A and B are shown apart, each in its own frame.
Chain A
Amino acid sequence: DTGVSQNPRHKITKRGQNVTFRCDPISEHNRLYWYRQTLGQGPEFLTYFQNEAQLEKSRLLSDRFSAERPKGSFSTLEIQRTEQGDSAMYLCASSLEGGVWEKLFFGSGTQLSVL
């Protein structure tokens, strides 16, 4: 169990540029979640996958955001035409679905700064 890995740790970009983040979940976990955390707030749910299928998206996820999990392993989150309001910590978590609840394992996050 090497934990959930997120890359890069930090990303600075100019407004209008596209950015992509990567998340590598714990290997046997079939569920993968993306959350966003702004300064002084708790994480907010964005979307989740079960294997390669994206099962739910938050209304927070505008059409500039797209997430993929092509082979049911790692996932990418892309933000197109970044805006200053996109500046936040983007968190990834994974879990093994089954039973009456799921324990989420979180990565350390990718901090995005849009200038």
Chain B
Amino acid sequence: AQSVTQLDSQVPVFEEAPVELRCNYSSSVSVYLFWYVQYPNQGLQLLLKYLSGSTLVKGINGFEAEFNKSQTSFHLRKPSVHISDTAEYFCAVSSPAGGTSYGKLTFGQGTILTVHP
């Protein structure tokens, strides 16, 4: 079984400041890691993913995340945020071991990022 913990339920930040949204996971098998974003009244959108290889992955809208296997973390970062980044962000894992689908995701509780002018 897997679990995902997002350490901050809300993160307020001023425009053009850097931000980090924290995510820790627990799994007894190797996992794929994802960050999704949910804007108001819209469906979840994939920001970025880690499958294998380089531990630093870049996504859309200037976001990046770093996979740290020893700390079982996958924190999301952006060096300079915009008002339009205000949304809820979800960290998720999937583990296709055992024949289940890659699309069966375990999500964290979400972090609401609010960017203030």
Q: Could you list which residues of chain A lie within 8 angstroms of chain B, going by C-beta atoms?
A: 3-4, 31, 33, 35, 40-45, 48, 50, 55-56, 91, 93, 95, 97, 100-109
Main secondary structure of the interface of B (DSSP, over half): loop
* A48 engages B101 (CB within 8 Å): yes
* B101 engages A42 (CB within 8 Å): no
Most chain-A Cβ atoms within 10 A of its Cβ — which of B46, B104, B107, B108?
B104
* A43 engages B46 (CB within 8 Å): no
* B110 engages A109 (CB within 8 Å): no
Docked CA distance A100–B51 (Å): 9
* B103 engages A105 (CB within 8 Å): no
Q: Given A31-B101, A102-B101, do A44 and B109 touch, yes or no (CB 8 Å)?
A: no
Task: Please tell me if B44 contacts chain A, counting CB pairs below 8 Å.
Answer: yes
Question: What 8 pairs between A and B have smallest CB-CB spacing?
Answer: A42-B107, A106-B43, A106-B44, A102-B102, A102-B103, A101-B102, A108-B43, A43-B107
CB distance from B11 to the nearest CB of A (A): 15
* B109 engages A40 (CB within 8 Å): yes
How many positions in chain B have a CB within 8 Å of any CB in the partner chain? 26
Contacting residue for A44 out of B6, B100, B107, B110, CB 8 A: B107
Contacting residue for A104 out of B4, B6, B51, B105, CB 8 A: B105
* B90 engages A42 (CB within 8 Å): yes
Residues on B with beta carbons closer than 8 Å to the beta carbon of A3? 43
